[in-house]
Structure 1
Amino acid sequence: MKKIFFISLIAGIVSCTSGYDNSWIRINQLGYMPGTPKIAVMVSKENVSVSEFAIYSAVDDQEVFRSEEIAEFDEWGAFKKGFRLDFTQFTDKGEFYVKVKNVKSPVFRIDNDVYANTADFILNYMRQQRCGYNTFYNSTCHQNDGFIIFHPDAEKDSTYIDVRGGWHDASDYLQYVTTSANAVYQMLFAYRENPSIFGDEYDAMGNPESNGIPDILDEAKWGLDWLDRMNPSYGEMYNQLADDRDHIGYKLPANDTADYGRGKGGARPAYFCTGEPQGSEKYKNRATGIASTAGKYASAFALGGILLEEYYPEFSENIKAKAIDAYKWGKLNPGVCQTAPHVAAYFYEEDNC
C-alpha cells in the first residue's frame, strides 16, 4: 500500500510540473531601459496556469523582484496558453532573467544604453545578403545575371541583361523588386527621419572602412543600383531575378548550382513586367497590371534621388527622372504585378497598387 501511494505521489508531482517543460519565456533580446515598459511573454503547449513570476539577478541567481502583473491569453498557434509578464515597475540596472516555476528566460540587460548602435547593427544583415561582391563571405557570386524572359519583343527575349547586384531574398538567392524596393525605401525613410543616429564605419562595398557617407545610405545605394539595372529605360521594367528552381538545398552564394537552362551556376532569368499572369511552367501568378511594381520603383527612386544628391549628384538626377517615368508607366498600366512561380504554386501576392 505504501509503495502504491509513493508511486502515485511521484506521478502526481510529474503531472504537476511536466506541463511547464513545454513552456518558454521570451524577452526583448536587446534588453530594456530602466524607465520604459518591460514585458516578457510566456507561451506553453500545455494548459498551465501562472499566478506570479520573479526576476533574478544573473550574477548570483538571487531573486530581486516578484510580481503578479500578468495578462493571460488562450490558445494561439501551437500554444494552448500565453501570458504577458509585466515587470515595468522594476527599474534596477544590471543583468537578469525571468523565472516562472522551472521555466527560465534568457539573460537580458536593463540599462540606458541597450539600444545604442542598433540602428547600424541591423545593416549587418543587409550586407550579408548582398549579391555580387559580398564582403561577409569575401567572395563574388552570380556574375552572369541575367537573361530576359517574357519580353514582348522576340528579338530581346532570352538576350543578356546586366542585372548583377542587389540582395538575395529570405534564405535563398531569388531577388525581387517587390521586397528590394521596399527595403530601399524603408532605409531611406529611416535616415530621412533620424539622420543623426546612423554612423559611418563601412564603405560603399561593405568593407569595414569609413567613406564619408552614412552606412545606411551606402546600403540603400547598393539596392538602388540594382533597381536602376532592373529598370533600364522607360516602360522596360523587370520584377524578378531567378525563381524557385533555386530551392535545391543549402549552399553558399558562390557555390550556387541552380540551373535555369544555361548550365549549373549560369545566368538566371530576369522576368519582364508584362502586366499579365506569369509563370515559367504550369503554375501562374494572378498579375493584373504593373502599377504595384512601378510604384515601388517610383518611390524608391524619388526618395533616393533626394537623399543621395549630396554624395552622388549624377546618379541622383538619373533616378529622379526614372521616378517620374516609373510613376507615369504605372498610371498607364494599373493593377498588380506579382512574382512568378516555377516549381510550386506560391508567390508574393501584391493585392493593391
Structure 2
Amino acid sequence: MKICIVGGMIDAKLHSKIFPLQKSELITSIHLIRRQAYSGNKIICHSVPQWAQKLLPLAECWRLTQLFGVCLFHRPKVLIAFGTMPHGIYVWLISKLFRIKTIQHIMGKNDLRLTFSKQRGQKIAMRAVRSANLVAVRGQPMIQTLLVNGVNADNIFIPQNLHDFDFFSCTIPTIPEYELIYVGLLAAYKRIDLMLESFASSKPNNNKLLIIGDGPEKNNLERQAIELNIEHQVIFAGKISFQNLPKYYCKARSFIMTSQGEGLPMAMIEAMSCGLPVIISDDADITEIAKNEVNALITNSHHKDCFAQAIVRLRNDESLYQLLRHNALSLRDTKLVEYSVEFQSRLWTEKIESLYST
C-alpha cells in the first residue's frame, strides 16, 4: 500500500513517528511532503528546494503543489497529516479532490489553536479533524476535547512516539551542574517568559537554569533574563544535537516546562528516563505520564508563584526529590513495550487496515 505523509519536525522526532510505518509490512512506499529532505527505507521525500525555503509562503505553496502531484500521479491509499496546522489543512483539502482516506495526527493543543482564547484558526482546524477517517492523539484529555467538539469517538486512537529508554539514561551518577533544564522550542506558547519569572521569584542564588533550543522568542527571552537580573544564572545553550541530549539531561537535577499548548512532550519523557523529576503544568495530555507528587510537581495555574513554589520545594526537600526521582526512573517499567517499534508498528497497521475493512 502507498501512503503519503505531510509533516515537519526535526529529524529525530519525525523518525519517532514515521519509523513504525516504515516497519509495517502493509506499507510499500511512503511519499513524504516536507520542507527539508529526509531519507529512509520506503520513503520518497518531496522536499522544498533550497532557494524556496527562505520564503515561507513560497515554500508552503511548493509543498501543497507537491501533495497535489503525489495524489494525481501516485494515487496513495491514505493521507496522513503530522500536525493539523498547516499540514492537516492541506491533507483535508486535497483529500476532498481525490477522495482519499485521511488520518489527522494531532500534536497538541496549540496544533488546534486552543492555547489562547479566540486564537485564529480554531474553526478550520477542528473542521479538518472532524472530516478525518481517523484521528491520532497523545492521550485521554485530548480525546475529551475532541468529543466535545463533535469528533466521533470510534475514529480516535492513541499512537505513541518511539522512545529509547537505553539511550536516555544516566548510568553514572553525577553532581548536577544545573538545578533545572528545559529542552524545546522557544516559542510564545511554550511560555519561557513565565519560566524565567518563576525562576527569578525562587531566588536562585548560585543555582542555574539551562535552556536548550532555539526559536523566534530567543532574543526577547535573553533581554528578559537581563531585566530580571538572572542573566548569569540562565544559560541559553541554543540547539543541541539529539545525540548529545542525554548528556545534558544528566547534568541537571530537575526538568521544568511551563507551556500552554502541549500534547505529550517527548522532552518530559526523555528527562524522566534520565531520572529527573519534572515541574510542569496540568496541560493537555501531560498527566498521562506526569503524576503529582509521584514523579512530578504539577501546577494547576500558569502563574509564576505556583512554579516558583514548586522549584523551591524540590530545591529544599531532599526526601521528596529522591522519591520523585525514583518514580521517574520507573517509567521504563511501565512504558517500555508501548513505546517500542513493534508495538507501534502493529497499532498503525491495524488502524490503516481498518480503513479498508468495510
Q: What is the TM-score with the length of structure 2 in the denominator?
A: 0.26
Q: What is the TM-score with the length of structure 1 in the denominator?
A: 0.26
Higher helix proportion (structure 1 or 2): 2
Q: Please tell me whether Structure 1 or Structure 2 has the larger radius of gyration of its CA atoms.
A: 1
